[in-house]
Amino acid sequence: MAPHDAVLGWDEDANAEAYEAFCRAHPMYDTTSRTLARRAHLGDAGLVVDLCGGVGATARAILDLGPARARVISMDSAAAMQRAGRRTLTDTRLAWILSPAEQLADHVPVGGVDAVVCNSAIWKTDTATVLAAVARVLRPGGRFVFNIGGGFAGVRHPDEQTVRTGPSLNALIRQVAARDYGYAPSPSAADGAPKLSLQKVRALLASAGLAVVDAEVTAQHGTMAEKKAWLSIPVFAGPEGDFTHAERMRILDAAYALTTPQTPTVTSWLVVVAERPDTTA
């Protein structure tokens, strides 16, 4: 269990263990990983990179959906996340590389990668540098498939309006924090401006020499119980500001008490498929 005043990051064992346990207990990361892997055209793949791969949820989907001969490299900068993943994912076709995503081209064959897949992380990187590195390692015709959370991309799937039956758990957390702790969001948290819109993504991809072949807003369906479990992972716990981990968990419990476990939730994702053009075709 995390200490009551923990400020945990991706390379903290307590956070990595909580994240890996969530991945085993709930389908969210498996579902989003399979959505991306299916769009990567893995039928003839020999080498695929799981970028910012964490505990290996996306690597597992690539191994399941790709050909038996395919090799997968899962690259992440957090040793704790990879330690957690290695204990349960032991496929001999998978190699783990500890490195920031920006250094991708230092670790894999330039021009020798059939696909790069990045689930739930591209907006946490130096995106322009990562895209340039991806363009270097992809073979001509190779695909880069990634997603961006709806809030970061400034998009919402229609199901967010038609399925939702009340306030989101995040909204309830902010309400409880304001009521019980005098919480007020920072101006940057309240401005609502997208961090990585599709327009910006298209421009960055074009600058890196990659062409967008598909972009779609998808909906991830879950339950309030799953959302509570996700927000219990220290690195995701809210609200922002000077709260201890124990206070955040008390706020989460109070907010969750205003819902029911099977209340449906919807998370929007912008899914982008890009290719390195095959100029020899």
Cα–Cα distances in angstroms (integers) from residue 128 to residues 24, 37, 135, 147, 272, in the given order: 32, 22, 11, 15, 15
* Residue 2 placed within a domain: no
* Residue 182 placed within a domain: no
Give, for all 281 residues of the chain, the pLDDT tens digit.
Answer: 444 344 468 999 999 999 999 999 999 999 999 999 999 999 999 999 999 999 999 999 999 999 999 999 999 999 999 999 999 999 999 999 999 999 999 999 999 999 999 999 999 999 999 999 999 999 999 999 999 999 999 999 999 988 877 899 999 999 999 999 999 987 765 556 788 999 999 999 999 999 999 999 999 999 999 999 999 999 999 999 989 999 999 999 999 999 999 999 999 999 999 999 987 75
* Residue 183 placed within a domain: no
Closest among 169, 118, 115, 175 to 148, alpha carbons compared: 118
**How many angstroms separate the CA atoms of 59 and 171, rounded?**
32
**Residue 138 structural domain:** 13-158+192-223+267-275
* Residue 140 placed within a domain: yes
Do β-strands 264-275 and 113-118 pair in parallel, antiparallel, or remain unpaired?
A: unpaired
Q: How many domains does the chain have?
A: 1
* Residue 255 placed within a domain: no
CATH number of the domain enclosing 35: 3.40.50.150
Give the pLDDT confidence score for residue 2 in this predicted structure: 44
pTM, rounded to two decimals: 0.94
Do β-strands 47-51 and 211-223 pair in parallel, antiparallel, or remain unpaired?
A: unpaired
* Residue 256 placed within a domain: no
* Residue 249 placed within a domain: no
